[in-house]
Amino acid sequence: MKRVYAYLLVAGFMLSSLELFAQKRYIDEVYTDADIEVTTDVTYATNIDFLRSSRLSSASQQQVGMELTSIKTALAMGQPIPATHKNLADTTSVIKVQDIKMDIYAPKASADTTKARPVIIYLHTGNFLPSPLNGSPVGTTKDSSAIVLCRGWAKRGYVAISADYRLGWNPLASGPTGEYERRGTLLNAVYRSIQDVKQCVSGLRVDAAAGNTYAIDAEKIVLYGEGTGAYIALAYNSLDKYKEISLPQFLNPLTQKSFVDTTLVGRIDGSGIPQSLTLYGPPRASMEIAAVVAAGGALADTSWLEAGDKPIIAFQCIRDPFAPFNDGTVIVPTTQEDVVDVTGANAYMLKANALGLNDAFKDMPNDAFTTVARNKYGKTFDYIFPSPLDKMTVNNNLEGLFAVDLEAGASLFQNQAGPWQWWDPTSAAATTIVKAPNVTAHMASLQSNPDMSPAKGRAYVDTIQGYLCPRMAVTHGYYTTAELSAPSLKELNGTTYPNPTNGVVYINMNDKTNIKSISVTDISGKVVLSKLDLNTSFTSLDLSSLKDGYYFLQLDTDLGVATQKVVLTR
């Protein structure tokens, strides 16, 4: 029962927090599901598919060079890539290419006239392998958590993008050099995925400058990574120098050179020399982002973090067995073999705050979510290893980190890593056998998410949104921390009626509270009506001159400023 209470308690905190942050665009859901449109499988980039180019490593250098030249020549001439490179069944080519796609969630134009909306890009989990080959039913742009998170952001006024990225590494490498192959192929998978996401970010900016198909604010793009996607998001924010991929843990002991060969895979922005196995050219637009969010995952090395990097918001289970909460080693989820040393949120968030990256969050009001997060700072918890490593102390000065404390599992890999994930146990991916003789992906994933259910997953998503969205809004400058402390109309014992209204709305405060003025803003924040010089506890507003839609009443009262959403429909 403790596990059930844990997430239901968080869900309860969410309800109280909605009253504190009363109907603010980008923080609260100001649209309904009916207001959201989803455009699926939009190609944002095309590049070499290392997962399916299985013959690439054994092919002659001459053949690889000829095929690479053919593909790059076609792109330079504005011609289609030869079909043989997209047909996986065709054996005449060794290089296969992949269209990399994204799903876009946004309020419909009929509901939202805002022309510059912030963007949040969701990067899925999956261990850089397709589901269920990764041993799990999840790992796609259409995971349950991806859909619910992206819809939730869109209902708050964001353009939300669930973006895919290239997969492929060898987690099963064994023998004397198996560890090096696992490490090298994984590091290259992370590196290629960063190149992909940079193409997504720059492509959005190119589109915004040329016609702005999705009505975005190109200066307000946030990356949200879950699990594997969190590794990508964190590295995207901090990896910007070649020397950072030449640290000792990234060197191949057999060659004393970095596992990531930029002459082979291209620069971090995706560009490279003609012989590089990348199809990306020079950057088309800025690849800067405004912030990163990590749900799970870890950072390769805290030395990557520097002053000037973007704010970080993190969610991580204290007893995550796959990504260390402090310092530790990434392991292969299916085999539990070591891959590479990394740093978890308890350590990288400490440095991020020491560098001042999260200074904007210091004065966040003590809403329910912030209180829960801050109450864990400085506390010591039972950990997942035997003594003397059986305790974990959460550091102080971790503003921006929401540490999740769940009941300890019966064994190491029965501790939870992603309680915000859920899936259909009857799906094809879930029922696939991933371990002999009859362990399915569903059964394997239940080990670290034993009480998985849509209700549990959604409760954790609600908690993520409750902690995350106010911080994103502050990062973007939509609200100050002082404004987030404003009471709701309900907290001032005020009411509005009828709501929805077909024209006139009445505002009634308690007898001890007077309304001094009222301003009405539309969904974009534009003031469309105002009523000044009031001194009354009861008044009315005639909204009949406005178009049907959502509006916000901002009331200046004797007790402070309060807000209330009103729906006008006729």
Which residue from 513, 467, 232 is spatially nearest to 371, judged by alpha carbons? 467
How far apart (Å, rounded) are the C-alpha atoms in residues 409 and 429?
Answer: 25
Rounded alpha-carbon distances, angstroms, from residue 516 to 22, 407, 499? 19, 50, 22
- pLDDT value at residue 330: 76
Q: Comparing 9 with 306, which gets the higher pLDDT?
A: 306
- pLDDT value at residue 438: 94
Identify whether residues 435 and 516 lie together within a single domain.
no
Summarize the confidence of residues 82-99 as an average pLDDT. 94
- pLDDT value at residue 549: 85
Identify whether residues 418 and 548 lie together within a single domain.
no
Give the number of domains in the chain: 3
- pLDDT value at residue 17: 34
Asked whether the predicted pLDDT for residue 13 surpasses 60, the reply is no
Sorting pLDDT into bands at 50, 70 and 90, what band is 23?
low
Identify whether residues 470 and 494 lie together within a single domain.
no
Identify whether residues 148 and 175 lie together within a single domain.
yes
Identify whether residues 328 and 352 lie together within a single domain.
yes
- In the chain, the largest separation of any two C-alpha atoms, in whole Å, equals 86
pLDDT over 70 for what percent of the chain? Answer: 94
- pLDDT value at residue 15: 36
Residue 188: partners with Cβ closer than 8 Å, 6 or more residues away? 50, 169, 259, 260, 265
User: Tokens for 456?
Assistant: 């549990």
CA quadruple 221, 149, 98, 139: dihedral sign: positive
Asked whether the predicted pLDDT for residue 228 surpasses 70, the reply is yes
Beta strands across the sheet bearing 560-568: 527-531, 515-521, 549-557, 560-568
Identify whether residues 32 and 120 lie together within a single domain.
yes
Sorting pLDDT into bands at 50, 70 and 90, what band is 35?
very high
User: Tokens for 273?
Assistant: 């020399």
475, 502, 536 — which closes off a domain?
475
Half-sphere exposure of 284 (CA within 13 A, CB side): 18
Asked whether the predicted pLDDT for residue 563 surpasses 80, the reply is no
Identify whether residues 196 and 114 lie together within a single domain.
yes
Summarize the confidence of residues 73-90 as an average pLDDT. 94
Backbone angles phi, psi at 395, to 5 degrees: -65, 160
Q: Comparing 199 with 175, which gets the higher pLDDT?
A: 199
Residue 44 located in a structural domain: no
Residue 197 located in a structural domain: yes
DSSP three-state, residue 456: helix
- pLDDT value at residue 486: 66
Asked whether the predicted pLDDT for residue 425 surpasses 90, the reply is yes
Residue 529 located in a structural domain: yes
- pLDDT value at residue 328: 86
pLDDT tens per residue, range 338-388: 788 899 999 999 999 999 999 999 999 988 789 889 999 999 999 999 999
Asked whether the predicted pLDDT for residue 441 surpasses 60, the reply is yes
456, 475, 494 — which closes off a domain?
475
Summarize the confidence of residues 164-187 as an average pLDDT. 92
Summarize the confidence of residues 287-302 as an average pLDDT. 97
Q: Of 178-192, 215-229, 265-279, 334-348, give the lowest mean pLDDT range.
A: 334-348
Q: Of 31-45, 181-195, 250-264, 481-495, give the lowest mean pLDDT range.
A: 481-495
Which helix or strand (DSSP H or E) is residue 202 part of?
A: helix 178-210
Which residue from 208, 251, 215, 414 is spatially nearest to 321, judged by alpha carbons? 414
Identify whether residues 510 and 436 lie together within a single domain.
no
Which residue from 92, 100, 84 is spatially nearest to 51, judged by alpha carbons? 100
User: Tokens for 468?
Assistant: 């995350």
Residue 46 located in a structural domain: no
Asked whether the predicted pLDDT for residue 525 surpasses 80, the reply is no
Residue 48 located in a structural domain: no
Residue 456 located in a structural domain: yes
Asked whether the predicted pLDDT for residue 14 surpasses 50, the reply is no
Identify whether residues 380 and 336 lie together within a single domain.
yes
Sorting pLDDT into bands at 50, 70 and 90, what band is 337?
confident
Asked whether the predicted pLDDT for residue 449 surpasses 50, the reply is yes
Tell me: cis bond preceding 450? Omega within 30 of 0 counts: no
61, 95, 129 — which closes off a domain?
95
Summarize the confidence of residues 454-474 as an average pLDDT. 95
Q: Which amino acid is at 255?
A: T
Summarize the confidence of residues 58-71 as an average pLDDT. 93
Summarize the confidence of residues 156-179 as an average pLDDT. 94
Identify whether residues 443 and 529 lie together within a single domain.
no
Residue 47 located in a structural domain: no
Summarize the confidence of residues 133-158 as an average pLDDT. 97
Summarize the confidence of residues 259-272 as an average pLDDT. 94
Identify whether residues 280 and 353 lie together within a single domain.
yes
Sorting pLDDT into bands at 50, 70 and 90, what band is 334?
low
Identify whether residues 348 and 446 lie together within a single domain.
yes
How far apart (Å, rounded) are the C-alpha atoms in residues 64 and 61?
Answer: 5
Rounded alpha-carbon distances, angstroms, from residue 224 to 46, 290, 315? 22, 11, 11
Question: In whole numbers, what is the pLDDT of the chain averaged over residues?
Answer: 91
How far apart (Å, rounded) are the C-alpha atoms in residues 265 and 169?
Answer: 14
Give the CATH number, domain containing residue 537. 2.60.40.1930
* Residues spanned by the domain of 85: 53-95
